[in-house]
């Protein structure tokens, strides 16, 4: 299964990209880096620059039909940039419209909120998004990982990098990666 990892050109929390990427690859899936621009993206370790990663495809070329699932890594700047890009918001929404599984960690649910796909769903996130999620019609829980199947697709969410082991296990299991 080919899995899209959607990130902005700058600001993704590196470990929230690399750990799920490695889990998908280890399970036999094919992770694919999608961004709003071609070239490379700049990851961060909190506020410090980390590694750069090559973009596989930009949003002008990426098609939902090419992927079996979507992962939205967090960081603070990454999802904030994505939620202001109409192409990114449409790409996120298209996975819900197609009934494909989606996973989001940390601040990444901002993109879900902007895509108007949290209404009636239960999810977790970085705690400061709690009110945003509730205002968008979702229910927020303080759990290591939350798998919500009460909608058109499966939604896997986690709060922060400390939750990555549980998040990665849930992503592999719920996506049926192979």
The residues annotated with a catalytic role in the active site are 106
- E strand map for the chain: 2-7, 10-13, 30-35, 40-45, 48-54, 57-58, 69-72, 102-105, 122-123, 139-140, 145-148, 155-158
> Cα(118)–Cα(122) distance, rounded to whole angstroms?
8
Instruction: Give, in degrees to the nearest 5, the angle at Cα 11 between 7 and 16.
Output: 65
Instruction: Give, in degrees to the nearest 5, the angle at Cα 167 between 164 and 170.
Output: 150
125 token code pair: 């996130």
């Amino acid at each position: 299964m080919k899995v899209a990892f959607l990130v902005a050109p700058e600001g993704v929390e590196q470990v929230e990209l690399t750990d799920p990427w490695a889990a998908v690859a280890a399970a036999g899936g094919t992770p694919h880096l999608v961004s709003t621009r071609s070239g490379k993206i700049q990851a961060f370790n909190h506020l410090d620059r980390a590694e750069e990663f090559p973009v596989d495809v930009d949003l002008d070329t990426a098609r939902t039909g090419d992927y079996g699932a979507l992962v939205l890594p967090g960081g603070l700047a990454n999802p904030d940039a994505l939620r202001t890009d109409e192409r990114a918001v449409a790409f996120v929404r298209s996975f819900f419209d197609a009934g494909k599984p989606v996973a989001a960690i940390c601040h990444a649910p901002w993109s879900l909120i902007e895509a108007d796909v949290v209404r009636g769903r239960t999810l977790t996130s970085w705690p400061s998004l709690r009110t945003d999620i509730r205002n968008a019609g979702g229910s927020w829980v303080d759990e290591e990982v939350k798998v919500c199947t009460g909608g058109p697709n499966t939604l896997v969410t986690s709060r922060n990098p400390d939750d990555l082991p549980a998040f990665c296990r849930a992503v592999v299991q719920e996506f049926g990666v192979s």
